Amino acid sequence: MSTIQWFPGHMAKARNQVQEKLKLVDIVLEIVDARIPISSQNPMLAEIIEHKPKIMILNKADLADPKQTEVWQAYFKQQGYASIAIDAQHKSQLPQINKVVRTVLKDKIQKQYDKGLKLAKVRAICIGIPNVGKSTILNRLVHKNIAKTGDRPGVTKNQQWLKVNEEFEVLDTPGILWPKFEDQTVGTKLALLGSIKDSIYADDDVALFALDYLKTHYAPRLLAAYKLNEADLDQDNPDLMLFLTKKLGFKEDYDQFAQRLILDIRKGRFGRLTFEDVVLATDTVGD
């Protein structure tokens, strides 16, 4: 869990550092949490990386709703980006990264071969907000255990290249950027998934958001997990919270139920969940 505090000075440093590193690479791997693909993005990444090619890596796909992940991948495709859904923890789909990088950079690679080079090397950097899985991805990609630098922007050291294979190298430290803190819902979602310190957002606010989302997007799972009747969901959210607090044996202790709900979500009691949905532009669906 990251405890980093993002003050303006840190943001400026992080931005400069990422910009320096970008000069060294051919392509950016933007790591996001597949459960909240937009809320786990840095708000200024597009501006920071400018025209550098980018691939979206939807990590923690093992925890996300697979149907929603497909929709999100279609969305990123519409935006002009290749994407890969992976589970870095269990190394699922990781080899895809190399393949997609070489597809996106095929013209550049071809030029290297045309020049007579035997190997066409490409270099990448992982970039993302804290806790999306950057270090896990790096370690799994290069089959090593790279020490985590401790999400601190501004700590500079000599850059080194780590070999994924003879033709693909990644920078040994990821680019760490700040989350979209100015948006309250984004903060709530990050807190719900354990990506920012629990103390920043009140548990009951986070739980209220989660309950509402489950009610509107995953009602059958909510009914099953807490043995509710459909009519129970007719109550407004604060009443439903109180109803569940009592039903689960927490008497009037709203906060205890809030913590329980958050834990149940994180532990997978409701199955694989995505907390952000997107409506695709219809004219390109099915492409």
Query: Any contact of residue 54 with ligand GDP (CB under 6 A)?
Result: no
User: Shortest Cβ distance from residue 276 to ligand GDP (Å)?
Assistant: 17
Cα torsion angle, 21, 22, 28, 33, sign: positive
Distance CA(274)–CA(7), nearest Å, equals 29
- How far is it, in rounded angstroms, from Cα 274 to Cα 75? 15
Is residue 60 close enough to count as binding ligand GDP by CB under 6 A?
A: yes
98, 165 Cβ separation under 8 angstroms: yes
CB of 128 to ligand GDP, least distance (A): 6
First to last CA, the chain: 39
CA 14 to chain centre: 18
Asked if 179 interacts with ligand GDP (CB under 6 A), we say no
Contact call for residue 59 and ligand GDP (CB under 6 A): yes
Which residues 119-138 are close enough to bind ligand GDP by CB under 6 A? 128, 130-136
Distance CA 94, CA 34 (A): 15
Q: Binders of ligand GDP: how many residues, by CB under 6 A?
A: 17
Question: Which of 27, 36, 88, 100 is the binder for ligand GDP (CB under 6 A)?
Answer: 88
Residue at shortest CB range from ligand GDP:
133
Quote the least distance from Cβ 30 to ligand GDP, whole Å.
12
Compute the distance between CA of residue 112 and CA of residue 100 in angstroms, rounded to an integer. 18
Residues at the interface with ligand GDP (CB under 6 A): 2, 59-60, 62-63, 87-89, 128, 130-136, 151
